[in-house]
Structure 1
Amino acid sequence: MSAYQTVVRIWRSARGRAWAVGGAVVVLAVVGSGLLPGPDGPSDGDEDSPAGTGQRKPGLTAAVSAPFSAFTEGYDCYRIPTLTTTQDGTLLAIAEARTSGCDDIGDIDLVLKRSTDEGRTWGPLQVIRGAGDPGAYGNPAPVVDSASGRITLLHAYSTWTPAPDGSRVRGPRELRLAHSTDDGASWTTDPAPQPQLKGADWAWVSVGPGHGVQLTPTRPDRPGRLVVSADYRTESGESGAQLLYSDDGGLTWKPGARWGAPEGTPAPNEPALTQLPDGRIYVNARSTATCGTSDHRVSAIIDDAAAPEVPAPGFVPVSGLPAPPASGSVLQLPGGPLLLSAPSRPGAEFSDRWTLAVRTSQDEGRTWSKDGAVVLRERAGYSDMAALPGGRVGLLYETANGTPHGYIKFTAFGPHELRAAAEDLTPRRTDDATGHHNDAVVHGSPRLGNRPGGGRALRFDGKDDFLRLIDCPDELRVGEGDFALTVWVQYKTRGQDRDSGRRQPLAWAYGQGPTARQIRIEADPATGRLEATVNAGTGPVSVTARTRTDDDTWHHVVLQRIGGRLELSVDGAPPATATGAAGDLRPAGAFTIHLGTQPDYRAYYAGALDDVRLYGRSLSRNDMARLRDGHDVTDQERVHLPFDGIR
């Protein structure tokens, strides 16, 4: 009996009793980048708590075992996990093993570990591809044929060369094939290139990552079709997804249904697939649209893998599913829910890959429940799932300390655990009053209070409280022109910050580092004054306030650029100024604006903030006086956070 048949039998016997979600679709989600393991990053505090309660449920077991660990067994970093169950129930964990750092381009091998006890322990590391070859093997996409037991491993291959600046340049990329007929113990040595699976005008091609599927047989005497997902980019710039299929147990492969994104629309990237109970193929993919939208995943349903095109409407955005850009995995359990593992912390940056959780959909993935079960509240990246012979679900995923990549861990869960750990995963927010809807996501447990003579205020504990403005809308990109950032602040320098010299970040827009475009305001514990910095990519320009502000009373702060001059004013007094602040501050890619922390989360603000505003122009003396007196100034206002409440 195949693993698939075993799961069907177990699932049907438990239907309505174990999972008891009435055919719901379930999603596994990862929320929380970096290259290699580093210092511990923060958890997301109570952001994952049931709304308004500040309470957490225990969550699912984070890890049963760790098949691959960074800086072990000859490799610096392990990425792109793939999980599959063989015909005899052996569990295969396949990954990219990267020999120097965690870069996507370089000497990368495909490695495997096998488990015969449902992931509790793993055998020795095996190199499937790449031993003695400096090329890059990647994106493993295994699929098992239930008739023969043969495992087919489609994967990508490319060469690379060093660039003059020390970076790496990837060579042409192609798809290749490997087979195993002994449950992954050994693999064919012929690289078996598959040129028929790459279009003549394609500049890029890849498969998965993640396992493929075998469709339900349409005739008793014919095995089910094998299907694997792929994505591509043409030389003319079209991006899209395609299905690859085999009707002879994986020996030969053909290109199937294809969909190219119309110009100006989101394209599917790193698609994952599964078969729905009615026989159709469900595909859920990472979207190429990152900024200006909260919909970072797209999906499609396909009737026939061998058809020339994906049927209309093709890939459409999945709304109500918070997710940063990252790969995910889908798994339809027979007679029950569909599982999806994917990053789910809202945000447009790779660094937003945190918190592994499970949510549900009642309509084949078109809408999603707010409830879910957390697996890991810390940083985690790509993942893949497989049905285990005993009826549980196995999950293989990336994580590390302070970064989502480097280690690959395994966990498993059953239906009762999933239901018991369910909690409201809706991100808490505080509203933008401008009408631009640039609401801030609330992390930790900042407390609402009052500012005398003003409105509400938000107090941060200096430990894990902070806010994020996400999805990088165009109106929050400060370019070459004037701008103004205003905020009410109240704080007192802490002894621990004075002793360490650590600055407290009040507001930090965009990137971090000596060449990153950025705008920031920090409290300097040595002087008791605020310091503001802008960087147009050529180096920082800073200005320090003329007076102290660490006296635990409220101060109105205005940072603005007028021409090439930077001004920092406190309580309407003459501003401190600095020259040389001209230049384009607009981030080249996705960005986040943080309040109460900095982008690497190594320092936090302890104090209160109120009435945060960003303008696409400088402010006059009269404008600033009106703001101090509690009046609105709305001309070219890009965001206004009055902190009237948290929802």
Structure 2
Amino acid sequence: MGEVALCFFLCALLFRFCVSINHRPNEIVPLLVEETLLWVSGQGHVSTYRIPLITYTPRGSLLAFAEARKESVRDFGSKFIAMRRSTDRGITWSPTSFIVDDVGNPDGLNLGSVVVDEVARKVILIYSLCFHLFHCSPASTMLVESRDDGLSWSAPRNLSVQLGVKNFAPGPGYGIQKRYNPGIERLVVCGHGTIEGDGVFCILSDDHGQNWRNGAALKSIPYNQEKRQNDFNPDECQPVEMPDGSILINVRNQYNYHCRCRIVTRSYDGGMTLPIDHLFFDYELVDPVVAAGALQKDGLLYFTNPSNEQHRVNLTLRWSLTSGKSWESKALQIWPGASGYSSMTSLDTSSVEDQKHIYIIYEKGNKDIDETISFAKIHLYGGL
């Protein structure tokens, strides 16, 4: 190891040591310190903003995305992908840019997962076209990418030649780049649909997003058939990489199989398989059937959803010191009213400030969840 590399390594160790002294995991008392409405439905040429995503970039910016539904609140119909960018940790945001336009497609596009390739220094956004097969066919899985911190985006690329044309809706949320073995540097994006039947599926890339292949599958019961209430149908999902290199996936329990709570499954082979042996139902995470947020940061697992068995209200942040085996009894209510989909990120830098904060984007309303999309900055130790 060279002198410069050794110095960097020792500094990183010292930084982690200092952080652990200043703030121990059991001292976490999160506080909402800042909130900004990023999009308001009904403004401009957009009927409704839904399906929020947020990510960091390798250069330390934040990128926020949403479906900009042109004509109605419906899941199908023509849409843009809207984006805003912050270079100062969410204090200010760029004006909205529309980085993808499906140009009147009757089924429209559906977000989607954003994945950061830290090795190639780029951001990849994956979405679907014609997912519901509403007056169109076949379904397609699409990709755009940015190599300049979200300032510009490539032309859309169709991955269906590599993945097939059955329905696949990524996320919504973020994909991961594996930091640990097995499959180090692999890109893993998970979602739901019918790549091999309905259920949860992951797609994988080992060459920085150039080529993709089908990976893990967690299929529904009855498989690839019409569902009824209480059938097993895992749906929208959020993967996170755990410190042991496994991939934990927090999943929407579409038909309330077994409980009104979250399904959790795990891959120990880099997203290749999702054995039923590692699936469990997290009774502590009650859920009204919704896409939720999850984030692993400095050995702690965070989770956001509308914490209610029946209704999409009460957006709440919870955290686990035991990799999701249990959750702290304390929780932070972010918004008591109408709240829907949520997504989380953090800035992973050597800055002490970035160790203290996480960022949440979510659907927020007084009456309905689709009124606005809001950005919340959380200080993990702000309540001390």
1:589-642 per-position Cα deviation (integer Å, ceiling 9, x unaligned): xxxxxxxxxxxxxxxxxxxxxxxxxxxxxxxxxxxxxxxxxxxxxxxxxxxxxx
Share of identical aligned residues, percent?
26
Q: 2:80 aligns with which of 88, 98, 109?
A: 109
Per the alignment, residue 82 of structure 1 pairs with 53
Q: Which has the larger radius of gyration?
A: 1
DSSP 3-state at the match of 1:74: coil
Q: Tell me how many residue pairs correspond in the alignment.
A: 361
The structure 2 residue matched to 1:301, chosen from 249, 253, 266, is: 266
For the residues of structure 2 that align with 1:341 and 1:286, how far apart are their CA atoms?
12
Query: Which secondary structure state, in structure 2, belongs to the residue aligned with residue 378 of structure 1?
Result: strand
1:60 CA displacement: 3.8
Query: For 2:277, which of 301, 313, 327 is the aligned residue?
Result: 313
Superposed, which structure 2 residues align to 1:531-542 within 5 Å?
none
1:181 is displaced (CA, Å) by: 0.6
Offset from partner CA, 1:171-225 (integer Å, 9 cap, x none): 5432111111101111111433334324x6x4x3211000111111549xx9611
Q: TM-score, normalised by structure 1?
A: 0.52
Q: Deviation digits for residues 315-353 of structure 1, max 9, x if unmatched?
A: 33221222111001211002x311112221122xxxx11
Q: Which residue of 2 aligns with 1:616?
A: none
> Quick one: distance in 1 between partners of 2:131 and 2:308?
34
Residue of structure 2 in register with 1:226 after alignment: 187
Cα 1:330–1:239, aligned 2, differ >3 Å: closer, same or farther?
same
Inter-partner Cα distance in structure 1 for 2:271 and 2:238: 17
Structure 2 residue 160 is the aligned partner of structure 1 residue 194: yes
Question: Which 5+ residue runs of structure 1 have no aligned equivalent?
Answer: 27-58, 162-167, 421-647
Q: Which residue of 2 aligns with 1:140?
A: 112
Note the C-alpha offset of 1:152. Answer: 1.1
Inter-partner Cα distance in structure 2 for 1:130 and 1:121? 25
Matched residue SS, 1:321 = strand
Indicate how the Cα distance of structure 1 residues 8 and 88 shifts in structure 2: closer, same or farther if over 3 A, else same. farther
- Equivalent-residue separation in structure 2 for 1:159 and 1:265 (angstroms): 22
Following the alignment from structure 1 to structure 2, what is the Cα–Cα distance between the partners of residues 134 and 98? 12
Q: Which runs of 5+ in 2 are unaligned?
A: 1-8, 223-229
The CA distance in 2 between the partners of 1:216 and 1:9, in whole Å, is 21
Map of 1:15 onto structure 2? 20
Counterpart amino acid of 1:276? M
From 331, 339, 342, the counterpart of 1:383: 342
Query: Are the structure 2 counterparts of residues 89 and 400 from structure 1 closer, same or farther at C-alpha, using a change threshold of 3 Å?
Result: same
Q: Judging changes above 3 Å, is the alpha-carbon distance between structure 1 residues 345 and 12 closer, same or farther for their aligned structure 2 residues?
A: farther
- Listed as ranges, the matches of 1:48-87 within 5 Å are 60-61=31-32, 64-87=35-58
Residue number in structure 1 paired with 2:368: 403
Question: Per-residue displacement from partner, 1:347-389 (whole Å, max 9, x unpaired)?
Answer: 2xxxx11112222334322333332111111111101111135
What CA distance in whole angstroms lies between the structure 2 residues aligned with 1:234 and 1:82?
A: 23
Alignment partners' CA distance in 2, 1:192 and 1:127: 19
Whole-Å separation in 2 of the counterparts to 1:305 and 1:149? 21
1:490-529 equivalences under 5 Å are: none
Q: Distance in 1 between matches of 2:123 and 2:111?
A: 16
Indicate how the Cα distance of structure 1 residues 209 and 13 shifts in structure 2: closer, same or farther if over 3 A, else same: farther
Query: Which residue number in structure 2 is paired with residue 465 of structure 1?
Result: none
1:277 aligns with 2:243: yes
Letter in 2 for 1:206: A
Taking the TM superposition and a 5 Å limit, the aligned residue runs for 1:604-619 are none
User: Which of residues 137, 141, 150 in structure 1 aligns to 2:122?
Assistant: 150
Q: Residues 312 and 223 of structure 1: is their aligned pair in 2 closer, same or farther, counting only changes over 3 Å?
A: closer
Q: CA RMSD in A?
A: 3.0
Change in CA separation of 1:15 and 1:177 when aligned onto 2, cut-off 3 Å: same
Q: How far apart are residue 76 of structure 1 and its match? A: 1.5
For residues 170 and 363 of structure 1, do their structure 2 counterparts lie closer, same or farther at Cα, with a shift above 3 Å needed? farther
Paired with 1:365 and 1:138, the residues of 2 have a C-alpha distance of 29
